[in-house]
Structure 1
């Protein structure tokens, strides 16, 4: 069932609310500062739903609901399916006209997943202005790079103007600090005009702590499970039908009203559901039905740290029907090898053979014992097409969850940065770049908030100090509430035009262009081998490409020919090329952390 405000024609609006805990519900219109208030009793539609039709609402109208409980007590709350919260998380909702935007690029279709390069950005930190409109002005930069999909970190309403987005409490509402509903539509339309798909990060495993009033309406949460971030969502207990509908409708809301091309589902390993049809399967079916109805293609991409291939297997078998799944193993393998870090989950990685396995297989762990976890981890995935794994060498989590938010450019040298980029962009999985990595951004990406509750702010500060207690010999975590912490996390765009920034950008651009020329890889077709006692990594993409990575810190390789597969090959790219180094000429040998890429020498 549709929920929230819907324009039904002839100047009428229908408000639908799921509030099974209420004995009666009144719609309060004009509920804002100095506005006259009109009260409309809503009709019970069964199974906890309440409906009210009115001619007294229009775009911009503030509204909320008065809930009367069986004991006679009352509360007034904003709409759980609010589309706009102009007065922050504790204020009333605002009616939004979803027909106000005239779409200019209605015929856009996202690329095939095997052809996709994703660019993750935080709307607030991507530009100094921190808005959708300002982000749209940077799209030519992404087009030049070769990116054809952007992934936006969550934009649903959170308290205050600054947040990563995972503290959202109104999942249907676009935060006004970024430009609100109109700004998001303009951004999506602008992306489509540049042939760039838009993926939105959504959070269905928990809600933030401040302004979270869902429990006043119904059994949205459960004590049967726990998450690291708050109460678990009730997807399988009593009353869960309405909860499931709430989140399914949320997905439809973004895909249909905002023309979003795909959703990144945050931390699906923390979505607990033991009903026979898992909520992710129900969601994938609803999205497939919408795609058939609209004649469009949508992506559902599941973030998960379980290495569970069932997420992307078809619903008709034992799968959940997701289009792609996060592959943290790739990041961890590359990061641990190139930085020598072994803290936390990095203890499971750090060997060159882990990188080779990630390139070949996606998941490194497919059932083997994980020392970090203390048990076998993952499951075999020989049937999964490589493009259905989303891989990265940096993202908001892997950078921002470090105490000081250091990007890879702060941890390794320039040649190693290029080596990591080539590992990512030549492997057959679908690559994701984190904003700024293409030019070596070295501003940190820190954890930041702007909660309105002082006690909650202090609790978050204390939690960060406890989390990083064993690192605090190097200083304390930056204050997440401070505006300076957010400002420090904003991209430094002038660096993109620096000499080193331009050289790294040129390397990324060349790798992406070369990637586009390669055929999609079938499962098992990619081969990665360690040669010369593990100091040389050779990647083969079928018979189309051979790449060599010198993993040594000091020793160059003079002879690669003995390691070449049969056939005629030519050098397509070399990381020592003057375009990517500023040197006078390319080095004859494969330099430490250097990359040399060959493609078939076809007659012209």
Structure 2
């Protein structure tokens, strides 16, 4: 059941219109406190179509619409979250019952995870994820956006689930199915902007403000006139995913663009309210931030002037591994590449921790104290949707490296003190690219997106013909995973390697303790080898194209995971590795 209400502080009249495509019943709402307008009639039932007319204007969807079955421009539909019968009453978090920290996260995009591109179709592959050893399935944004397919970051209805994915009922079924398999579920949510088509919030009130600017235009109004209602719109959205959809984790997109000069930052407010709800629901509820600030304050407690996030993405480790393995140095990779930078990121998280960032042209970041910060509060990864899809051709790391090089990167991520994350298909070195695709029905908007993409890469030497057209259906179709390939050749070999690494991580407690201060790295930059020490384990990686022997600090040794057994030999005080090879060995206790 649903009670209609909408915030429109400057309106002189607001009308509720139900069944707008049928009998069309229009009723005036009653002005209430705080700029709210409310309906004092009977409660609405699940499935009722409705919209609002502000001061006699056009029918407009609800800013808190949970269901947009006719697209982002059509009427809203009442969704009753209680209509679903849940089967996860015993669910108390991930398999270990301790939340996401130290577990394995699997990022996936619903629209390209399967050929059907729906949440129900994705359920058919959950046994694969559980068997792989994933702990958290992180969905890229599912908020309703204009068109059938897209990345999801152009969403305009943050409360609604994209209808092409199956709508809100399908998300409940998906979460329920994950929990029955021991998988927690995370959701990528975007609060820093709305997309360019279907954003009607300005018809209701000052949701955005000129006082703060972002790469997408006006910033969210978190500290100006009317900010309390806007903050509640954001915080209520987050809490609703936890409460009504049983989600476990929210990944907050680009939080550095949530500009807030209030005494209490909206993220700290969200963190505090999330902890209260977590206590009430008796299960872990966690927040993961994407932040470009390289500031450990993001994951420090709100009670100590932090933002209270449970974890944050760490692009610096990705950049360090990518640059070292591929040799790329353009753009933001300019300050990465040497093996000492890889070592720095593995032990101190950030490459830019207060020093000069050539890409930004400024000093950047703040240091992480390895003795005071839990490494598990930082996500480590070899690739993400951003790092693949924002390339001109959307090449995955497997298209840029030898299998051995990818194996090195995977081993360093999976044995790190970080919380590791995999992008869908990475575990079998999927052959499919993951490209930038959109489906805007407005031809002018589609052309603008296409031209903007081509102009961006023209500055890096790409011709228009080389850059895939985001609006072309084939760009989307090329990005859909091919599930049958993982059973063959190098794909099967890579899948076995990820299985071995995740299994080792699960068995070896030293790999999940998050103690950054206990991680040390030996390396020879000229020779091209690196050895990470974690307790009694050594991760020995040969980045070079020739075989070599890596000196060890202890013996005897026992191999526990080897990428290329045919070229790997344990000697008395060295490990012999073939080209682009990696091994995890256990040394005798001192």
Q: Is TM-score (shorter-chain normalized) higher than 0.5?
A: yes
Contact 1:21 1:48 in 2 (8 A): yes
Q: Distance in 1 between matches of 2:456 and 2:365?
A: 26
- The residue that corresponds to 2:194 in the other structure is 207
- The residue that corresponds to 2:11 in the other structure is 22
Contact 2:209 2:219 in 1 (8 A): yes
Contact 1:461 1:479 in 2 (8 A): yes
**Paired residue for 2:180, among 178, 193, 203?**
193
- The residue that corresponds to 1:472 in the other structure is 462
Pair 1:538-2:526 in alignment: no
Pair 1:415-2:407 in alignment: no
- The residue that corresponds to 1:574 in the other structure is 562
Pair 1:551-2:543 in alignment: yes
Q: Distance in 2 between matches of 1:374 and 1:179?
A: 45
- The residue that corresponds to 2:573 in the other structure is none
- The residue that corresponds to 2:381 in the other structure is 392
Q: Distance in 1 between matches of 2:57 and 2:132?
A: 55
With over 3 angstroms needed to count, the CA separation of the structure-2 counterparts of 1:23 and 1:337, relative to structure 1, is: same
Pair 1:403-2:369 in alignment: no
Q: Distance in 1 between matches of 2:363 and 2:305?
A: 21
How far off is 1:544 after superposition?
Answer: 3.0
- The residue that corresponds to 1:89 in the other structure is 72
Q: Distance in 2 between matches of 1:250 and 1:534?
A: 52
Partner of 1:247: helix, strand, or coil?
A: helix
Partner of 1:316: helix, strand, or coil?
A: helix
Pair 1:529-2:522 in alignment: yes
- The residue that corresponds to 1:10 in the other structure is none
How far off is 1:279 after superposition?
Answer: 0.8
Contact 1:160 1:452 in 2 (8 A): yes
With over 3 angstroms needed to count, the CA separation of the structure-2 counterparts of 1:342 and 1:29, relative to structure 1, is: same
Pair 1:108-2:91 in alignment: yes
- The residue that corresponds to 1:283 in the other structure is 270
1:407-556 map, 5 Å: 407-469=396-458, 470-473=460-463, 475-516=465-506, 517-519=508-510, 520-531=513-524, 533=526, 535-541=528-534, 543-554=535-546, 556=547
Q: Distance in 2 between matches of 1:534 and 1:216?
A: 63
1:155-194 map, 5 Å: 155-194=142-181
Contact 2:92 2:282 in 1 (8 A): no
Deviations 1:158-182 (A, max 9, x none): 0011010000000000011111111
Deviates more, 1:222-231 or 1:267-276: 222-231
For structure 1, which runs of at least 5 residues remain unmatched after alignment?
1-6, 8-12, 578-582
Q: Distance in 2 between matches of 1:512 and 1:177?
A: 33
Deviations 1:272-296 (A, max 9, x none): 1111111101111111111122212
Partner of 2:39: helix, strand, or coil?
A: strand
Q: Distance in 2 between matches of 1:598 and 1:586?
A: 11
Contact 1:207 1:230 in 2 (8 A): no
Q: Distance in 2 between matches of 1:229 and 1:207?
A: 8
How far off is 1:474 after superposition?
Answer: 8.5
Q: Distance in 2 between matches of 1:534 and 1:373?
A: 31
1:234-245 map, 5 Å: 234-245=221-232
**Paired residue for 2:356, among 369, 385, 390?**
369
Q: TM-score, normalised by structure 2?
A: 0.95
1:280-359 map, 5 Å: 280-359=267-346
Q: Distance in 1 between matches of 2:349 and 2:73?
A: 44
Q: Distance in 1 between matches of 2:217 and 2:398?
A: 33
With over 3 angstroms needed to count, the CA separation of the structure-2 counterparts of 1:182 and 1:226, relative to structure 1, is: same
Contact 1:262 1:298 in 2 (8 A): yes
Deviations 1:474-494 (A, max 9, x none): 843211111111000101112
How far off is 1:569 after superposition?
Answer: 3.2
Contact 1:352 1:534 in 2 (8 A): no
Pair 1:52-2:39 in alignment: yes
Q: Distance in 2 between matches of 1:299 and 1:529?
A: 35
How far off is 1:76 after superposition?
Answer: 2.1
Contact 2:103 2:134 in 1 (8 A): yes
1:117-132 map, 5 Å: 117-132=104-119
Q: Distance in 2 between matches of 1:248 and 1:521?
A: 29
Contact 2:14 2:52 in 1 (8 A): yes
How far off is 1:518 after superposition?
Answer: 2.6
- The residue that corresponds to 1:79 in the other structure is 62
For structure 2, which runs of at least 5 residues remain unmatched after alignment?
571-575
Corresponding pairs, count:
575
How far off is 1:56 after superposition?
Answer: 6.6
RMSD of aligned Cα (Å): 1.7
Contact 1:104 1:189 in 2 (8 A): yes
Q: Distance in 1 between matches of 2:399 and 2:40?
A: 57
Q: Distance in 1 between matches of 2:158 and 2:525?
A: 53
Pair 1:149-2:136 in alignment: yes
Pair 1:599-2:575 in alignment: no
Deviations 1:465-524 (A, max 9, x none): 111112314843211111111000101112111121111001001001111123313231
Q: Distance in 2 between matches of 1:150 and 1:433?
A: 10
